[in-house]
Structure 1
Amino acid sequence: MTLRDRGKLKWQGAFFMPEHVKMPRDMKTDYHRQAKPIIDEYEIDEFDRRICYAMEFNLAVKLTCWYDGFNEDICGRIHYMDPINQEVRLVTEEEAAERVKFADIVAVSVIE
């Protein structure tokens, strides 16, 4: 009679609940989270000027947006500024429409 050895399988954990797997993953994302930067009214004025300049001359812009602790860069051309809904509508390089809230914008740079 031969002995059937399972190799490395016998040393692996037998059962992990989904909460046990999710907790280290959440800890890793929480570690890299950043606080939302405080933007004063002069910076908001400068963002507005850059957006209007890019709209007037049909230039591409790079908007840095803050979403839930992480910064995301969105590049494209400004299509419309909606003051009622407080958002900027832009068309990306992939011809997709994006809507960005004014409150989420952290930085604006014009790509010439």
Structure 2
Amino acid sequence: MFVLTIRDRGKVKWQFAFGMPELIKAQRDLWRDSERIEKPLLDVYELEEFDQRIAYAMAYKLTVKLSVWSDGFTTEITGAVNRVDPITHELRIEVKPGEYERVAFEDVCAATVVD
């Protein structure tokens, strides 16, 4: 007697929906857009307080923890403020020895002195 064996494709038959890279990218973009926050509005007094904290940290070579807003998300940067550039309105922060990161004044949401 002849027995017909069924060859099942296993997981391959369920991968059709995930075979479209456009769909995956659209879902990731939708999730990312739903997680965005608006740029916080800062008071003049808060900005003055941030300036004083940064100046104090520069004078005594202390570490500063900055909360930076960029493209709808906030990130935290910790390091020593190496230079404040009044022309380009940027802070130059030494994150690691020899590694610097530039942050614009208007993107800073919070500043605290760690040490």
- TM-score, normalized by length of structure 2? 0.88
Q: State the 1:69 CA deviation.
A: 0.7
Give distance in 2, aligned partners of 1:46 and 1:76. 18
Partner of 1:104: 107
User: Unaligned stretches of 5+ in structure 1?
Assistant: none
User: Unaligned stretches of 5+ in structure 2?
Assistant: none
Which of the residues 4, 9, 31 maps onto 2:7? 4
Which of the residues 33, 41, 44 maps onto 2:44? 41
Q: Which 4+ residue blocks in structure 1 deviate beyond 6 angstroms?
A: none
Q: State the 1:8 CA deviation.
A: 2.8
Q: Which has the larger radius of gyration?
A: 2
Superposition CA RMSD, Å = 1.6
CA distance 1:42–1:19, shift in 2 (3 Å)? same
Say how many residue pairs are matched. Answer: 112
After superposition, what is the alpha-carbon deviation per residue over 1:74-106, rounded to whole angstroms, capped at 9, x for unaligned?
A: 000011100000000110135410110001100
AA matched with 2:72: G
Give distance in 2, aligned partners of 1:41 and 1:22. 40
Q: Is the 8 A contact 1:75 1:93 kept in 2?
A: no
CA distance 1:13–1:50, shift in 2 (3 Å)? same
Q: Percent identity?
A: 48
